[in-house]
Amino acid sequence: MKNMKKLLVIIFVFSIQFINAQTQDLVRARHFFNKTYYSESIILYEKLAEEKPSQEVIRNLADSYYYTNNLIKAQRYYRLLIQNYNTDLDREYYFKYAQTLKATGNVEEANAALKEYYTRSTNTEDALNFEKDLKTLENVSAIGKRFEIKNLALNTPNSEFGAVKYRDNLVFAGVKLKPGMFDKKFKWDNETYLNLVSTPLKNINSNDSISHYFSKELKTGMHESNAVFTKDGKTIYFTRNNSKNGKKKRNNDKISNLQIFRAELVEGKWTNITSLPFNSENYSVEHPALSADEKILYFASDMPGTIGSFDIYAVNINKGAFDKPRNLGPNVNTNKREQFPFASADNKLYFSSDGHLGYGSLDVFVSEIKDSEYSRAINIGLPLNSNLDDFAFNIDSETKEGYFASNREGGKGSDDIYQFKEIKDLIVEDCKQFIAGTITDVDTQLALENATVLLQDSDNKTLNTITTAADGKFSFTVPCEASYKVSAFKEKYTNESKTLTLDKTRDKINDGSLALKSLETIKLEEKESAEKKRKQELILEEENKKKEELAVVELKQKEKKQKEAEIVAAEVKKNEKVKQILEQEKDVVRDKDRLIIKTDPIYFDYNMWYIRKESKVVLGRVVALMNKYPGMVIEIGSHTDSRGNAKFNEDLSQKRANSTREFIIQSGINAKRVTAKGYGESVPIVKCKTDEACSEEEHELNRRSEFVIKNL
């Protein structure tokens, strides 16, 4: 039990120490982050993100990677931040996340993040302007390759940027390739401080080119970069940390902001190094650029009154003195970052921005300068702008050649200097296509002159009308990604139309040809058609008549066959019944082709036809047989001998047959089942040539009554 208590105490002590260590790490990380020592803050925030993640930890870790240009890792933590802490998250993080997505080529995701960023804005027009900017950027992309670019041989794995020509040299900002043990490092990204260096222009594309410090007088233990020279080469403006007498100065927040300095070349040495009067220890002033007439100095600053983090400013120079700097306004500046201005000889202001919509983080934009006004900035296009940072642009307006810096993939290091040549003008046009064709006669296929061609949109609003010439041709220029209706009209012709849905392929020609039909031709065709129809109807009537006749014949044949089959079936059935009755009834016998009921003789008094008593007994057997077989139908045949008058014999036999029939009917047999026939002497069994030729027995044979079965 004591050991258990001791173990719990040890665990508690270690837990307290662990929590205290985490708290100390968070305090130290926050301290480094606030001082922009991002390389140090990353180490601590990475550890905290594993052990005790929070919104602050993930947010600051993402920002630390973002500000040191490790955008892949920054993207990972911005994604975590948005997924887990998006409820009360500042919308700026969607913007930063979008920048990292662009850097990794995820353009659609980046645009989705930007849309979320602008949708969360308090200004409802921001989302609409974003959609317009997307369209503009698409139009810039449609121009295609505007520049030929080349990575200079002088680049190293460290940063080089801000290249400008100075006499026979290229002057730029760079970092020593192999810093020594005691060289100061810029804690933002762990590179040593920037210095102005130079290389002979003839060597910038040589693999063995060597860069030297531009001027010992200008070199300090601080950042120096972004130089610009007057045309006579005797004055330089450059960017340096706030300093005095070569020593860095910090403000109350322990920050040494950037300032623009000016120096003069006197007897081969740069002297009179002075800080410009609008510099301040409380904000940065950087990236100087001169107008072609050297009367205006452009720069970037985050001074009070800026629209975003850094804006482009201009200040007039009057005999070496400076007026009050002025912000160039919303056509140039955004609520984000605008830096690295450059004014060309043809009155264009170039600068880099991540606030205007671009392909990456910093893109180069251009604004036309006219009467001291600056037009809405436009992205200068591909491939100079990339998915990462592109900046420090300058161009010779006559040769269309210049330099810029970029940290794009395929370079030699962090930021590289590229040489370029502009090969296409920046003509920004909305996507357009053509709807063209020919109006023809559908039958003759000849072109129709003076046909009216009407173009309408999807709402049936008329956009344009053309009357065709002798060649029947027409053409409309229309925006892409829309539906249009083309209709054609001509006097004494039919009207025709078609609907075309256009895609986003630029300058595509869509066939809107239509063929009209002459009304006169229609009349002729209708007449011919009616005649043809009547002929076809007559033919059809004749065919139907033949079919009906054939059907009647076929029906009769069918009925005949059916009757024949029924007769055969009835005969078969009858034969079966005959066979059955012959087998079962001894009184039924076959007489040649007849079936008769064999009975004792039926006697009548001489010359009389009344049934005698003894004959009723015989007839009773016939009635019994017919009752046994309800379907049986008989014929009573009465015969006489040949003696006497033939007519008398016939009448007498008929009366006797009738009398016999009446007896059977009265005995309960249906009258329809019994027929009576008097044959007289016409059907003798024994033929007597004369009455005397036959014996009495033979005459007796001839005097008989027969019951012939007609049906069963």
Q: How many CA atoms lie within 13 A of 589 on its CB side?
A: 7
The reply to whether 585-711 shares the fold of 435-517 is: no
Q: Mean pLDDT per 10-residue run, the chain (712 residues)?
A: 50 45 84 90 92 91 91 93 89 92 92 91 90 94 96 92 96 72 44 84 85 89 92 96 75 84 95 95 96 97 94 95 96 96 97 96 96 96 96 97 95 92 95 96 96 96 97 97 97 97 94 96 93 92 91 90 86 82 87 86 72 84 91 90 87 89 92 92 87 83 85 84
CB 350 within 8 A of CB 380: yes
Q: Choose which CATH entry (3.30.365.10, 3.40.50.2020, 3.30.1330.60, 3.30.420.40) describes domain 585-711.
A: 3.30.1330.60
Q: Choose which CATH entry (3.40.1010.10, 2.40.50.140, 2.120.10.30, 3.30.70.890) describes domain 149-422.
A: 2.120.10.30
Q: What is the CATH number of domain 435-517?
A: 2.60.40.1120
**Which amino acid appears at position 333 of this protein?**
N
CB-count exposure of residue 7 (10 Å: 0-12, 13-18, 19+)? exposed
Per CATH, the architecture of 1-120 is what?
Answer: Alpha Horseshoe (1.25)
The number of beta carbons lying within 10 Å of the beta carbon of residue 123 is: 10
Within 529-632, strands assigned E span: 588-591, 594-597
Looking only at the bridges linking them, the beta strands covering 633-639 and 674-680 are: parallel
Distance (Å) of CA 711 to CA 595, 628, 632, 708: 9, 14, 5, 9
Looking only at the bridges linking them, the beta strands covering 473-479 and 483-489 are: unpaired
Q: What is the DSSP letter of 362?
A: S
| pLDDT tens column, 224-265 | 999 999 999 999 999 998 877 666 778 777 778 899 999 999
Q: Give me the residue spans of the domains in the chain.
A: 1-120, 149-422, 435-517, 518-574, 585-711
**Among residues 197, 193, 289, 180, which one has the least CA distance to residue 241?**
193
The two three-digit tokens of residue 57, written as one number: 């930890």
SS3 575: helix
Supply the pLDDT for residue 181: 39
